[in-house]
Homo-oligomer: A and B are copies of this chain.
Amino acid sequence: MTAIEWRFSPQLIEDALQKWLPVIGADETSSSDAQSDAQLRAAMRHAVFGGGKRLRSQLVLEAAGAVGGKVQNALAPACALEMIHAYSLVHDDLPAMDDADTRRGRPSCHKAFGEARAILAGDALLTLAFEILAADEQEADATRQVRLVRLIAHAAGEAGMVGGQAVDIAWSDAKISDISGQQLLQMHARKTGALICASAEAGAIAGGGSEKQIGVLRDYGRHLGRAFQIADDLLDVIGDPELTGKASSDAVNNKTTATALFGLEGAKELARESRDAALQALESFGPEADSLRHLARYVVERER
């Protein structure tokens, strides 16, 4: 299984991202500040248009579709979550963090644009995410917009993604024997799970789902996020570097992974359990949630 069968065309997201981040042109004759603007934008585009899977943004659209919402209303949170994901990778790759020279087979942002500009490009992407969520668009519902800002900020911040990354960094000096399986799953739930879970919930909110539907898709997203991260750890061990695009493995970087703590078979079993729990959560949905079901199977069986 190498491709995902989406209900909504991935081109919708690419077009929306391009609309928010068009190229800023400048040449040698431009003023120094215009050149700076062009470079900063280029660094932001390098991070966003870097061959990612668009898992989070597409999940927003599919969740909105599953609750019967219009895909148009889900594009803002889809783009916002993609911007936040992109910024987090730029900052994670910095020398002071994971010190990664490459990302998806290309130079990491600071390698291509310098460290100062990479820090600022990340900051600008995070800020842009919230500008997008609050955009003054036709049919925008302020109550829903505020709820999305609250949800996504909470998932991306100290309680979620940023806090999880801080724990992961703190663990780079720790012995694996000092970390329990529960602690690892909890760190993953924050570092990668929170944003994936928020994507499913954001789609349900943007699509005008009922509180019950929103709760169901939050549960689905939580299990999906766990399945995704464990599968990621497995790919690091058994995946083909040509397909995963990872230059150096987590083991080399002294990262604590699910395979290190649960063993290969234990991690596989956990991934399958999480997938099944995600499918189970969707029980109350009919065929309108089939692409979400497909996604849950895909994240466990994917090759990159």
Residues of A with Cβ closer than 8 Å to B? 31-33, 35-37, 39-41, 44, 87, 91, 94, 96-97, 114-117, 119-120, 122-124, 126-128, 130-131, 133-136, 140, 142-143, 145-147, 149-150, 153-154, 156-158, 162-163, 165-167, 169-171, 174, 178-179, 183, 186-187
Contact = CB atoms under 8 A, between A and B. Distances in A.
Contact of A146 (B96, B115, B145): B145
Contact of A128 (B115, B142, B157, B183): B157
Most B CB within 10 A of own CB, among A33, A41, A124, A140 = A33
B119 A131 contact: no
| Protomer copies | 2
B150 A135 contact: yes
Contact of A96 (B115, B127, B133, B167): B115
B169 A120 contact: yes
Contact of A170 (B32, B94, B135, B136): B32
Contact of A179 (B32, B163, B166): B32
Contacts of A135: 150
Contacts of A178: 32
A120 B36 contact: no
| A41, A44, A124, A136 interface centre (most CB from chain B within 10 Å) | A124
Nearest to A184: B33
22 contacts: A31-B183, A32-B171, A33-B183, A33-B186, A36-B163, A37-B163, A41-B158, A91-B119, A91-B120, A116-B169, A126-B126, A126-B127, A127-B153, A127-B158, A128-B158, A130-B149, A131-B157, A133-B149, A134-B149, A135-B150, A142-B143, A146-B149
A149 B154 CA distance: 15
Given A31-B183, A37-B158, 8 more contacts: A40-B158, A97-B116, A97-B119, A117-B166, A128-B158, A133-B149, A134-B149, A142-B142
Contacts of A167: 32-33, 36-37
B142 A119 contact: no
Given A158-B40, A158-B41, A163 B124 contact: yes
Contacts of A166: 36-37, 39-40, 116-117, 120
A35 B170 contact: yes
Nearest to A118: B96
